[in-house]
Structure 1
Amino acid sequence: MTYPSIRDWLFSVKTFAASQLALYIALVFQLPRPYWAMASVYIVSNPFVGATRSKALYRALGTALGAGAAILLVPPFVETPLLFSVIVATWTGTLLYLAISDRTARSYVFMLAGYTMPLIALPTVTDPTTIFDVAIARTQEITLGIICASVVGSNILPSRLAPTLIERADAWFRDAAWYGSETLSGHVAGNALSACRQRMAATVNQLEFLLSQLSYDHTRPEILARTESLRGRMLLFLPMISALADPLIALRRDLHVWPEGLDSLLDDAARWFEEPLPTRAADMHDDAGDATAESLRKRIAALQPPRDALASWQGALLSNALWRLGQVIDVWQDCRALRALIAHETSSTWRPRYRHWRLGGTERFYDRGLMLFSCLVPVSAILVACWLWVSSGWHDGAGAVTLAAVACCFFAALDEPAPMVFRFFLATAASVVFAGLYLFVALPNVHDFAMLVLLFAGPFILIGTLIPRPAFNMVTMLVAVNTATFISVQSAYEADFLVFLNSNIAGVAGLLFAYLWTRATRPFGAELAARRLLRSSWSDVALSASHTAIADQRNLTSRMLDRLMQLIPRLAASDDHRHPSVESFRDLRIALNALDLRRSLRKLDTDVTDAIDRVLAGVSDHYASCARESERQSAPPALMANIDDAMRRVAAHARAQLPGATAADADAQSAPRALVSQRWLSNTLHALVGMRLALYPASSAQSPSNPDATV
């Protein structure tokens, strides 16, 4: 068992102090429900200043928006309860959809606005004349809690978010270094590697949300830009190291051919991956460079096969492996340099080593259909719960509806929300017990505010130490918030056991209903999401290889990378083992190679472009068929023949450009109107080799033409 750290204790004491300050001010100003101010502190507090500030701002905006909607909608529709239920459900579902569509901290605005409206509106439908007062009081008390949490968190031993971001990045570096070393050593499968991929993808996904809070941490704009660049290169590392594995496997395992000097090169590259990250100021300057990386690049250049050797499958594989290794080294050097610059917040000049057209995309992937369905579940839950409430005539039934709405909204974005809703139910039931003990056993003996603070201190500070831990965050936060709310501290002691029991049973009943409804309406989990992501990825591969105009290839690449990072954790959680994550990496590589081939078409001669067109058409048809059938299919043999033919034609062009090329070599080209640059020929050959290895991994030992191994 890991005990709370000093940082956990400090956060808990600061949060408790802020909550008691908010409660005291609310009591002094005789606000109607001072306990809302106390509860709000626990909702918005975070161990880090930037996260607390962003959450506080967005909660204030969301509360104001939800309260305003309640004021506008309750009076006109209070006489038509079923119609009003539809309006409340539609409002909540719409705002929830907007929240899920925004993966930054801003999503909190929409989430709060979505469930704040029913929280304020539904309990006042029996007395609509109080809606304005209730909405104003709710806004005032929540704003008071927000201000207290922000002031205390920002001024008393503040903890910045940037060091935590570096800690998360360092965890990724450790995983990436091990993963890269294992790949270079020839280990490409196993549970440990799979788990490492999951952790790396999860870290990259988490960084996106953290980056949206970093601007509230007084971070300079250049540091923000560098952090975005670091995450972009972290996204690329897994696909690139995966692309490097294919030619290395083909050379080592299938062809049993291993060029002299390649072993030592890979060993030294693996050791470089595991070197400590740069810490000295001199290491962060671009002019200083990285001596190890430069040495590795020179050795890669020395091992490059001669141009005429590219006509053999072995030469093409070696060239492809070295080219991929060079890209991995460039990206790793960029990541190391960016991490150092961010950690030391230096203004030193940084120039990237890895420059590519596909960098810079901003588009993200959203499964709009699944998102819409996820929002319809809370909508339907609210409608059914409202119908049961209205039909039964239960006076406190509004509490059941509101907590059901909150629970369904909180976890709507999860693949399997029901277990978390059940934990919400258990935490709330525990809060009812704790609040009852406080209200009917302890509080009758409290006669001043100081004694009240002492009475709250022990349990709330102890619970607060667990809030920073991801495994306990949701449950402990809910226990603290609900206990503070259910106690309903007022300026004078007033407690009625029957009122307490009736109102709180309503909330527990609403959460139990939310659990049962979620379990019934969303029995599927990560498996369905994975299948939909796979089908969507196949459609994008087909698009990449088609003749359809693509408005922005950078954004298409960004969307595919983002979807892959969403898919990897779901493949691990799914029971469907037919689609391992390695296959998804191959899909992405095929799409990127197809985009590279499309860019090469305008630079090549007619006979080569015709062959490449046939390759692209075959890839597009194959993946369109996979998407149409919703099942991965084996690539047709005719497509491999088309790839081999394209490689032969590219090699013929390359031979014709060698010094001393004969007329017969030139005649090998059907239309040698101009010599094509070697760079475009090399890039085209690398793309074709990569596509062949990804589409036909079991045929990497099979020569593209015949046993003579000429391309």
Structure 2
Amino acid sequence: MTYPSWRDWLFSVKTFAASMLALYIALIFQLPRPYWAMASVYIVSNPFVGATRSKALYRALGTALGATAAITLVPPFVETPLLFSVIVALWTGTMLYLAISDRTARSYVFMLAGYTMPLIALPTVTDPTTIFDVAIARTQEITLGIICASVVGSAILPSRLAPTLIERADAWFRDAAFYGRETLSGTIAGKAISACRQRMASTVNQLEFLLSQLSYDHTHPEILSRAQNLRGRMQLFLPMISALADPLIALRRDLHTWPEGLDALLADAAKWFDAPLPTRAAEIHDDAGDPVAESLRARVAALQPPHDALTSWEGALLSNALWRLGQVIDVWQDCRTLRALIAHETGTWRPRYRHWRLGGTERFYDRGLMLFSCLVPMGAILVACWLWVSSGWHDGAGAVTLAAVACCFFAALDDPAPLVFRFFVATAASAVFAGLYLFVVLPKVHDFAMLVLLFAGPFILIGTLIPRPQFNMVTMLVAVNTATFISIQSAYEADFFVFLNSNIAGISGLLFAYVWTRVTRPFGAEFAAKRLLRSSWTDVALSASAGRIADQRDLASRMVDRLMQLIPRLAASDEHRHPSIESFRDLRIALNALDLRRSRRKLNGDMPAVIDRVLAGVSDHYTRCAQTSERQSAPPALLATIDDALHRVAAQGLAQEAADAARAADADAAGPAGASAQTPPPAHFTQRWLRDTQHALVGLRLSLYPALVGQRPGSEPTGANG
């Protein structure tokens, strides 16, 4: 374990100072529970001022919303305890569902509203006439802590989020460079590759939440826009580089066809992945460009096979590999430029990678699993309330409220039980710590200055661990619960039996929450991964179906987002048929199907009907996968359909080239007058769509039948299909 850095110490000292300021003001104004102000500081504080501000604002809004709900619902339903329990559970579950549905910092509003309502309402059911005063007091105490945390964090050596964004991006660049080098060398499996893939996906997911806090960090809107563009291209890099691996492996390993110059091109591209980022302002302007990227593009174009070579499987594979390599170069250059622009806050940017898939905003949500995740806390509240009412336990409200808080905190996780147990352990430790302070230390305290001195040592020490992800939850809970359990008032009051009963109630509630969660959610990441896979197969079938798609960009965005959620849930492995590799192929099949749907409208003759047959076969295959919830082998008939389509595209390309050559010869013979009277030849337009169609068909064949990449289209099968 490394020792805390000076930034950790600074954060801890600032947080402690803000908590003491909040406690002092609360004592001056004689708020009923001043320790809530102190505890709120530790809840909202973050090493970065933008995160603290966003959390503070959303916690204040959530607290106000929860308090309003408590004031509204307690008086009319307090005489019917079981009905009131149902209403509390419904409120908490609804707010929790809204929180899980929002993957930005704004979700905190709903999370706080969800568990603040029972936190305020349940202790007042024995005396409902106090609900308004209690709600107002809790709101004042929490708001005071929020304001103190925000002011101190912003005024004293504030730390910005932008450097953290750069650090996260740099970690992704290191992983992406390694992943790119390995892919270009033909390596797509292995534990190192698999772990790298998981880290890259996790980084992309974390950036979504981080970017939602940047606007509270006084970040310029243009920098925020560039950061969002950078994250979007980070998402695309993994699927693109994995798509490049298939044709390269097929050419090198299965067909033993390797054109001269391709090795050098791939080696130079791999070196470029490791090249330092632009540092001078002149290097990150559009007019400066990237000479290495431009050179790589020129070499890609020079290696492109002629039209007549595309009739062979080797030529089609080479064309597909070079086309995908060009896309990877464009996306990597965009990522490099955007990273430099964000770091230096200067320069201009014009995207190199432009595609119809960009611009989608839809995200994937497993609504069924989300609903179940919300039903679990609702059930916990109902059962805990029933036990409380049935037993007549005076302090039972504390057990219900902490059970609700614990279940809500971790509802979005695949396996929340371990963290609920850590919550329980941290709370038990806090109770012991608070007891020592309350009955051994505080009796010797005679003024606020001495209280600050006695609190400073342990709270500052604990605070240094809060910025560390592996200790964040436990140390934050210890600080918050200790402040709450000590229950500091303007005058010393300590009753051992009251302290014991109230803490036993809270700890019992957390133990119940752990047992309830363990019983009701025995499954973990594997279950969530299976649901993601089945949903992915449904979308692949949709992408290849004849049905209308409202927005293809949103469909593509949803599938990429789902893939980024799936990869971190899969264990690192060295298998060549690892689910993450298969899932990349599923995504490529969907995107190739969407490309075919777009290109078929530009083609004539019998090509649209041929493409329709291919798409229908793909849709039927993935519909079967989704219906059986198992990955099925692609049928041989679909392979024959794809091969037939490839032959027809190649033949039409040659016919179009011959027709264009004949038209050009006739125009030359007719002279300038005859040439001006003829319609301009559509050679470039038609050949472009034919080549795009061929790329999509090759991509489908490679992804659906990875074991048959060495088998040329139309030949008899020599092995098992994919």
TM-score w.r.t. the length of structure 2 is 0.95
Equivalent of 2:695 in 656, 680, 686: 686
Following superposition of structure 1 onto structure 2, how do residues 61-460 of structure 1 map, counting pairs within 5 Å? 61-346=61-346, 348-460=347-459
Query: 2: distance between equivalents of 1:661 and 1:147?
Result: 73
Q: 1:146 and 1:702, CA in 2 relative to 1: closer, same or farther beyond 3 A?
A: same
Deviates more, 1:601-610 or 1:245-254: 601-610
- Alignment match, 2:678: none
Give the superposition deviation at 1:7: 0.7
Query: 2: distance between equivalents of 1:362 and 1:470?
Result: 29
Give the superposition deviation at 1:675: 9.4
Q: 1:141 and 1:172, CA in 2 relative to 1: closer, same or farther beyond 3 A?
A: same
1:606-663 deviation digits (Å, cap 9, x = unpaired)? 3111111110000000000000000000000010110010011110111012257899
Q: Does 2:711 align with 1:698?
A: no
Give the superposition deviation at 1:697: 0.4
Amino acid corresponding to residue 658 of structure 1 in structure 2: E
Contact 1:198 1:569 in 2 (8 A): yes
Contact 1:15 1:464 in 2 (8 A): yes
Query: 1: distance between equivalents of 2:311 and 2:12?
Result: 67
Q: Runs ≥4 in structure 1, deviation > 3 angstroms?
A: 573-579, 659-663, 672-676
Give the superposition deviation at 1:572: 2.0
Contact 2:194 2:572 in 1 (8 A): no
Contact 1:251 1:317 in 2 (8 A): yes
- Alignment match, 1:490: 489
Q: Counterpart of 2:92 in 1: which secondary structure? A: helix
Amino acid corresponding to residue 6 of structure 2 in structure 1: I
Give the superposition deviation at 1:600: 0.6
Query: 2: distance between equivalents of 1:487 and 1:417?
Result: 28
Contact 1:655 1:661 in 2 (8 A): no
Query: 2: distance between equivalents of 1:90 and 1:197?
Result: 39
Contact 1:14 1:152 in 2 (8 A): yes
Query: 2: distance between equivalents of 1:221 and 1:705?
Result: 55
Contact 2:385 2:400 in 1 (8 A): yes
Q: 1:303 and 1:387, CA in 2 relative to 1: closer, same or farther beyond 3 A?
A: same
1:323-369 deviation digits (Å, cap 9, x = unpaired)? 000000000000000011111112x3211000000001000000000
Following superposition of structure 1 onto structure 2, how do residues 656-695 of structure 1 map, counting pairs within 5 Å? 656-659=655-658, 677-695=686-704
Amino acid corresponding to residue 619 of structure 2 in structure 1: S
Q: Does 2:561 align with 1:552?
A: no
- Alignment match, 1:667: none
Q: 1:284 and 1:413, CA in 2 relative to 1: closer, same or farther beyond 3 A?
A: same
Query: 1: distance between equivalents of 2:682 and 2:350?
Result: 39
Give the superposition deviation at 1:678: 1.0
Query: 2: distance between equivalents of 1:324 and 1:574?
Result: 26
Query: 2: distance between equivalents of 1:280 and 1:345?
Result: 12
Q: Counterpart of 1:495 in 2: which secondary structure? A: coil
- Alignment match, 2:720: none
Query: 2: distance between equivalents of 1:678 and 1:38?
Result: 70
Query: 1: distance between equivalents of 2:449 and 2:341?
Result: 48
1:569-626 deviation digits (Å, cap 9, x = unpaired)? 1122899997520000000000000000000111111311111111000000000000
Amino acid corresponding to residue 619 of structure 1 in structure 2: V
Q: Counterpart of 2:361 in 1: which secondary structure? A: coil
Query: 2: distance between equivalents of 1:256 and 1:633?
Result: 29
Amino acid corresponding to residue 47 of structure 2 in structure 1: P
Unaligned runs of 5+ in 2: 663-680, 717-722
Query: 1: distance between equivalents of 2:699 and 2:572?
Result: 29
Query: 2: distance between equivalents of 1:59 and 1:552?
Result: 35
Amino acid corresponding to residue 616 of structure 1 in structure 2: L
Query: 2: distance between equivalents of 1:615 and 1:687?
Result: 11
Contact 2:377 2:408 in 1 (8 A): yes
Give the superposition deviation at 1:257: 1.0
1:29-62 deviation digits (Å, cap 9, x = unpaired)? 1111000000000000000010000000000000
Contact 2:592 2:697 in 1 (8 A): yes
- Alignment match, 1:45: 45
Query: 2: distance between equivalents of 1:508 and 1:63?
Result: 23
Taking only aligned residues, the RMSD between alpha carbons, in angstroms, comes to: 1.6
Contact 2:282 2:288 in 1 (8 A): yes
- Alignment match, 1:641: 640
Give the superposition deviation at 1:674: 9.8
Give the superposition deviation at 1:152: 0.4
TM-score w.r.t. the length of structure 1 is 0.97
- Alignment match, 1:668: none
- Alignment match, 1:630: 629
Contact 2:4 2:464 in 1 (8 A): yes
Contact 1:526 1:574 in 2 (8 A): no
Give the superposition deviation at 1:705: 2.1
Contact 1:650 1:684 in 2 (8 A): yes
Contact 1:32 1:137 in 2 (8 A): yes
Query: 1: distance between equivalents of 2:536 and 2:4?
Result: 43
Give the superposition deviation at 1:221: 1.0
Q: Does 2:475 align with 1:466?
A: no
Q: Counterpart of 1:359 in 2: which secondary structure? A: coil
Amino acid corresponding to residue 431 of structure 2 in structure 1: V
Q: Counterpart of 2:657 in 1: which secondary structure? A: coil
Q: 1:576 and 1:327, CA in 2 relative to 1: closer, same or farther beyond 3 A?
A: closer
Give the superposition deviation at 1:116: 0.1
Contact 1:54 1:216 in 2 (8 A): yes
Following superposition of structure 1 onto structure 2, how do residues 588-667 of structure 1 map, counting pairs within 5 Å? 588-659=587-658
Query: 2: distance between equivalents of 1:336 and 1:265?
Result: 19
Give the superposition deviation at 1:280: 1.3
Q: 1:576 and 1:683, CA in 2 relative to 1: closer, same or farther beyond 3 A?
A: closer
Contact 2:660 2:683 in 1 (8 A): no
Determine what percentage of the aligned residue pairs are the same residue.
85
Contact 1:526 1:573 in 2 (8 A): no
Contact 2:657 2:683 in 1 (8 A): no
Amino acid corresponding to residue 642 of structure 2 in structure 1: I
Unaligned runs of 5+ in 1: 664-671
Q: 1:138 and 1:575, CA in 2 relative to 1: closer, same or farther beyond 3 A?
A: farther
Amino acid corresponding to residue 391 of structure 2 in structure 1: S
Query: 1: distance between equivalents of 2:300 and 2:2?
Result: 46
Contact 2:100 2:412 in 1 (8 A): yes
Query: 2: distance between equivalents of 1:573 and 1:519?
Result: 25
Contact 2:98 2:110 in 1 (8 A): yes
Contact 1:546 1:620 in 2 (8 A): yes
Contact 1:204 1:231 in 2 (8 A): yes
Q: Counterpart of 2:570 in 1: which secondary structure? A: helix
Give the superposition deviation at 1:468: 0.5
Contact 2:91 2:114 in 1 (8 A): yes
Give the number of aligned pairs.
Answer: 698
Contact 1:530 1:574 in 2 (8 A): no
Contact 2:194 2:574 in 1 (8 A): no
Contact 2:105 2:212 in 1 (8 A): yes
Query: 1: distance between equivalents of 2:473 and 2:576?
Result: 31
